[in-house]
Amino acid sequence: MRVTVLVSGGGSNLQALIDAQSSGELGTAEITAVIASKPGVYALERAAKYGIPAHTVCRKDFAHSAEWEAALLAAINETQPELIVLAGYLSILGDGVVRRYAGRIINIHPALIPSFCGKGMYGLRPHIAALERGVKVTGATVHYVNEIPDGGEIIAQKAVAVLPEDTPETLQQRVMEEAEWLILPQAVRQFAINN
Ligand code: GAR
């Protein structure tokens, strides 16, 4: 099961997938390519360290979003994925990619959808919003990607306690450790079993 992982930043979720693959927890899934949304991100160093072929398709290199979408679709096609994993990928995929790989793209979101999700809710922002709202429980969600940001079918969720002393950063770290890094590899393994 060829898996292409899309990343934008530190790549700790990519690392969780790599570690799961190393320990046999990904089943027949294999990370065969990484595509980054910008150059210089640490996720690319992680890919290089493990010899995973990596490409960068940066929105800023294109005058129009249609050109960027076409280039991203071409880059993805070249990697011949059977599953695409958005692991901290912070751009919204164009309709062309979503249609071409319908039912074969999954995303990890750092909140319990339908809370703190949708356009603009990425990275630290869901955690800032959770603290502002005063929720006592948050978590992470793995879901299929469709044309609605964070709107696709939910695959897995895991709850994480919010502590009184939490900052957005401490909450983000705990949600990663206690939820994201567990449910994303599990979802990839399950997808490989089902497909
Ligand atoms: C993770 O918390 C991920 O859930 C979030 O960005 C972070 C990336 O960390 N993704 C989104 O907000 C997508 N809407 P990482 O680069 O260390 O995996």
- Residue from 64, 109, 127, 143 carrying the catalytic annotation: 109
Alpha-carbon span 192 to 185, nearest angstrom: 11
Using CA positions, which residue lies closest to atom 17 of ligand 1? 12
pLDDT of residue 45: 98
Q: CATH code at 101? A: 3.40.50.170
How confident is the model at residue 188, as a pLDDT? 98
The residue range of the domain holding 117 is 2-194
Q: Which of 12, 18, 84, 85 to probe ligand 1 with, by most ligand atoms within 8 A of CB?
A: 12
Residue 107 CA: nearest ligand 1 atom is: 13
Q: Which residues contact 99 (CB under 8 A, 6 or more apart)?
A: none
Separation of alpha carbons 96 and 119, rounded Å = 18
**Count: domains in the chain:** 1
For residue 77, the CA-to-ligand 1 centroid distance in Å is: 23
Q: What average pLDDT values come out for the chain (195 residues) when binned by 10 residues?
A: 98 98 97 98 98 97 96 98 97 95 98 97 97 98 97 98 98 98 98 97
Kind and range of the H or E run holding 149: none
Given this model, what pLDDT does residue 52 score? 98
How confident is the model at residue 148, as a pLDDT? 95
Please report the atom of ligand 1 found closest to the CA of residue 88: 8
